[in-house]
């Protein structure tokens, strides 16, 4: 009986070892299969930069038109109609930032430019919104905060322009259709 028990135990142990070995092989095989199925992203910084520039050019007209409207309303002194226009501007900036997030950009240097553009857009929308709020509720603290935000925006804008110029020199302008 002891021999039979030992034999049964050895069979059970061998089945366990075989099963564990198959699980390890399955895991290794499935991991290597998953690694080969992962999409490889070909980095082409020049093409990505040109894509970014095309996106930027397409959206600059929208932003310029909204800035022009805001400037006209501000010059007219109609503060009441300025708030809805600023909300429209902020909404448009959010849409542009969301669209910017969907651009297929993977190279590090173009990603840095893309992120700087997003910060620039969001900060400019915040500055315009804060400016309108300050017109409704003027205060020295609000003025100081607005000036600080303006300085930050100028710094971000300069950094963005410098990065953009460097990449333009490196990759050149996008081809004209």
Judge whether 177 lies within some domain: no
Do 85 and 137 lie in a common domain? yes
For the full predicted model, state whether its pTM sits above 0.75. Answer: no
Question: Mean pLDDT of residues grouped by 10 in the chain (177 residues)?
Answer: 37 38 42 47 85 94 89 83 88 95 95 96 92 87 94 96 96 85
* Pair 98, 50 in one domain: yes
What is the Cα–Cα distance from 117 to 123, expressed in whole angstroms? Answer: 10
Query: What DSSP string describes 33-51?
Result: HHHHHSPPPPP-HHHHHHH
pLDDT at 91: 94
d(CA 132, CA 84): 10
pLDDT at 82: 85
- List the domain range (segments joined by +) for residue 142: 45-171
| Cα–Cα distance for residue pair 117/174, rounded to 1 Å | 18
Give the CA angle between residues 43, 48, 52 to the nearest 5°. 155
The predicted structure's pLDDT at residue 76: 86
pLDDT of residue 80: 79
Closest by CA to 136, choosing from 96, 83, 87, is 83
Other beta carbons within 10 angstroms of residue 77's beta carbon come to 9
Q: How many domains are contained in the chain?
A: 2
Helices (H), 103-172: 108-136, 140-171
- Same domain as 64, residue 1: no
């Amino acid at each position: 009986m002891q021999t039979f028990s030992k034999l049964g135990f050895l069979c059970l142990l061998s089945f366990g070892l075989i099963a564990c070995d198959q699980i390890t092989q399955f895991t290794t095989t499935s991991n290597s299969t998953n690694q080969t199925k992962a999409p490889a992203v070909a980095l082409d910084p020049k093409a990505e930069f040109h894509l970014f520039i095309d996106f930027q050019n397409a959206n600059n007209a929208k932003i310029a038109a909204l800035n022009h409207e805001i400037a006209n309303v501000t010059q007219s002194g109609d503060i009441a109609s300025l708030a809805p226009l600023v909300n429209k501007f902020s909404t448009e900036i959010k849409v542009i930032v969301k669209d910017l997030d969907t651009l297929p950009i993977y190279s590090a240097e173009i990603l840095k430019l893309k992120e700087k553009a997003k910060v620039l857009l969001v900060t400019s929308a915040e500055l315009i919104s804060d400016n309108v709020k300050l017109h409704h509720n003027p205060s020295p603290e609000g003025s100081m905060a607005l000036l600080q935000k303006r300085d930050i925006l100028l710094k971000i804008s300069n950094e963005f322009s410098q990065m953009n110029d460097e990449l333009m020199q490196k990759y050149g302008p996008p081809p004209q259709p």
